[in-house]
């Protein structure tokens, strides 16, 4: 089997992208590249990008395409991602970002774009109870908290409610997803890269569906003799 994979995961806020992308990156042994995590780390380190991004993120607005794609371009040209691939989470979010990404990943292109589908009332419920580790981005919820005192089970970091998980910012992000990101689904469908996956049910069940879809595609490519 060909090592690595070049994967984009799309889905509205609360669809479970973060959780699934961490699992997929372990399964295929490729880096998890999350634009949200990268931007939160820029904010935390008070870099100039972080300072420009902070208030936009708190309000649930998008960061300008050029700023995000410069950051993504730099990350995807590092040796680990050019060598084995990546699981890209949170990008692209606009058609301009998808066009820029197409250029960044030339000449290999993407293997697959997953659309993780979850109905809006369910994502609203998930987001209201979502808690995340400030250090490694691991996801928890009020129903499934870390084992000890809101301390991350994975890295020992502090587990908090994200500043942009307020009702107002969630509403804004969901509207932006509909306006800016949903058009990308047909953009990728036209390019025969899109696979729709039901994102409801347990995290394990969703992972099995996603891995099943990716492995089926890789078998097809192998049978066709593609590299
Ligand atoms: P969510 O999917 O819940 O909005 P993310 O962690 O993916 O969470 O992103 C958090 C915030 O970071 C977004 O609301 C936006 O302000 C910014 N952001 C992340 N990725 C992008 C992107 N590709 N383009 C523009 N802004 C982005």
CA distances from 60 to 33, 56, 113, 223 (A): 20, 6, 24, 44
Helix then strand then coil, in percent of the chain rounded to 5, is: 50, 15, 35
Residue extents of the structural domains in the chain? 6-224
Mutate-to-test residue for ligand 1 from 39, 130, 175, highest number of ligand atoms within 8 A of CB: 39
Q: Assess contact for 50 and 81: CB atoms under 8 A.
A: no
Instruction: Indicate whether 215 pLDDT > 70.
Output: yes
Instruction: Indicate whether 11 pLDDT > 60.
Output: yes
Instruction: Indicate whether 222 pLDDT > 80.
Output: no
Which atom of ligand 1 is closest in space to residue 34's alpha carbon? Answer: 7
pLDDT at position 74:
97
Mutate-to-test residue for ligand 1 from 63, 131, 165, highest number of ligand atoms within 8 A of CB: 63
DSSP 136-168: T--EEESSS--SBTTB-TTT-PBEE--TT-SHH
Q: How many CA atoms lie within 13 A of 154 on its CB side?
A: 13
pLDDT at position 89:
97
Read off the pLDDT of residues 129-158 as tens digits, 9 standing for 90 and up. 999 998 888 889 999 999 999 999 999 999
Residue nearest to atom 2 of ligand 1 (CA): 13
Residue nearest to atom 1 of ligand 1 (CA): 13
pTM, rounded to two decimals: 0.91
Residues annotated as catalytic are 17, 93, 130, 162, 173
Which atom of ligand 1 is closest in space to residue 53's alpha carbon? Answer: 16
Q: What is the mean pLDDT of the chain?
A: 93
Average pLDDT over every residue of 174-195: 95
Which atom of ligand 1 is closest in space to residue 72's alpha carbon? Answer: 23
Instruction: Give dist(CA 5, CA 164) in Å, integer.
Output: 31
**How far, in Å, is the centroid of ligand 1 from the Cα of 83?**
26
Q: Find the helix or strand (DSSP H, E) in which 131 lies.
A: strand 130-133
Q: Assess contact for 139 and 130: CB atoms under 8 A.
A: yes
Task: Please state, for a pLDDT cut of 90, what percent of the chain lies above it.
Answer: 84
Average pLDDT over every residue of 186-214: 96
Q: Residue 36 — very low, low, confident or very high, per pLDDT cuts 50/70/90?
A: very high
Is the beta carbon of 35 within 6 A of some atom in ligand 1? Answer: yes
Please tell me whether residue 108 adopts helix, strand or coil conformation.
coil
In CATH terms, the fold of domain 6-224 is: Rossmann fold (3.40.50)
Is the beta carbon of 173 within 6 A of some atom in ligand 1? Answer: yes
Residue nearest to atom 4 of ligand 1 (CA): 13
**How far, in Å, is the centroid of ligand 1 from the Cα of 111?**
23
Residue nearest to atom 19 of ligand 1 (CA): 36
Which residues sit opposite 159 in a β-bridge? Answer: 133
Q: Residue 1 — very low, low, confident or very high, per pLDDT cuts 50/70/90?
A: very low
Which atom of ligand 1 is closest in space to residue 97's alpha carbon? Answer: 23
């Amino acid at each position: 089997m060909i090592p690595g994979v070049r994967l984009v995961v799309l889905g509205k806020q609360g669809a479970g992208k973060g959780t699934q992308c961490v699992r997929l990156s372990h399964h295929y042994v490729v880096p998890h590249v999350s634009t949200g995590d990268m931007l939160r780390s820029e904010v935390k380190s008070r870099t100039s990008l972080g300072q420009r991004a902070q208030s936009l993120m708190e309000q649930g607005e998008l960061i300008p395409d050029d700023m995000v794609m410069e950051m993504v371009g730099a990350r995807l040209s590092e040796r680990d991602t050019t060598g084995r691939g990546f699981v890209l989470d949170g990008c692209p979010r606009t058609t301009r970002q998808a066009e820029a990404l197409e250029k960044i990943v030339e000449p290999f292109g993407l293997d697959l774009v997953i659309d993780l589908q979850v109905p809006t009332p369910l994502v609203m419920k998930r987001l209201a109870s979502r808690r995340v580790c400030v250090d490694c981005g691991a996801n928890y919820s009020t129903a499934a908290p870390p084992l000890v005192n809101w301390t991350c089970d994975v890295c020992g970091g502090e587990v908090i409610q994200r500043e942009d998980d307020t009702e107002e910012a969630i509403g804004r992000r969901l509207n932006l997803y509909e306006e800016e990101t949903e058009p990308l689904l047909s953009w990728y469908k036209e390019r025969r890269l899109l696979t729709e996956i039901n994102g409801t049910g347990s995290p394990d069940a969703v992972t099995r569906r996603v891995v099943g879809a990716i492995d089926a595609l890789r078998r097809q490519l192998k049978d066709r003799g593609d590299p």
